[in-house]
Amino acid sequence: MKSSFVLVMISLCMVSCITEQKPLNKSISISVIDKANGLAVGNAQVRLTTIVNALNIFNEIQQTNASGQCTFSFELKPDAQYSIYASRDGYLGYIEDDSVNISKSYMQITANTAENISLYLTSDSMHQVEYYRKREKRYEIPELIELLKTGKFRGGIPVLHWEDIPQLIAVGNDSTKITSFPINPLSSAFIEEVPLGMLSMWFIESIRKSEGNRFILPYEKYPSLNPRLKCRNENESNMSELVKMKKATQAYSKWWDFVKNLDPVKSSKINPLDGTDLSWN
């Protein structure tokens, strides 16, 4: 009697598991809204992305109607992941969360996702710039150098001003090895350490590239993938990092002596490394 009961229970569990693994028919109506004014965004592109077994990726794309709406009907399979993303030329993804960069133009889809969801874009061209700008950190240069030297620096390239350049040049020949420094999110290289002087020239290059550009985003502040210099002259390709650092510092010092009393926006168009065989890597 007991064995029969156990067999019945096992059979019920198997049926339950099989039922749970069946694909679910899912229909989701999406509304795309302009967060800047609350209006519907017609002709927006909405993409349903399906990733099966973390390998195969499938996309289905629809356009919203004049009311900013479209509908997807699909099978929600247990071995797949689903997400919805909205975009349109002239609009940005709206970021709202204050603690994490969560774009409201994107949403992951699960069995519990509501049948009607809203995705948010914004016609405010400065939205993302202002969002990130409010969260950037500003250090006075002595404090920044102390954080770098003690390995306590965290984060991306901080807020730097044109007026910071002389103090950065002043440490241009400092060979102190820095192990905690800003890393370009696009770089796949691992750099264990970099001389402080090299990093300070990299910061100056970031200031130069950012000067006068009010639309610049944090990831655009990186002058290159890494705070490394390369030689275009093959005969000097084996030049040590410290020699490159000293040559760069000399070039940036010479450039600053020339531009420091000129208009910063115009001065930023002049490349300090012109006339050298160096460029940022």
For residue 76, which phi and psi values (nearest 5 degrees)? -90, 100
Closest-CA residue to 251 (of 237, 268, 271):
271
Is 130's pLDDT higher than 70?
yes
Burial code (b: 16+ CB inside 10 Å, e: under 16) for 180-209 equals ebbbbeeeeeeeeebbbbbbbbbbbbbbbb
List the domains of the chain with CATH numbers. 26-125 (2.60.40.1120), 136-280 (no CATH)
Report whether 195 contacts 174 (CB < 8 A).
Answer: yes
Is 239's pLDDT higher than 70?
yes
d(C-alpha 13, C-alpha 10), whole Å: 5
Closest-CA residue to 47 (of 79, 88, 102, 92):
88
**For 51-104, what is each residue's pLDDT tens digit?**
988 778 899 999 999 999 999 999 988 889 999 999 999 998 898 765 555 778
More confident residue, 220 or 247: 247
**What is the per-residue pLDDT for 103?**
75
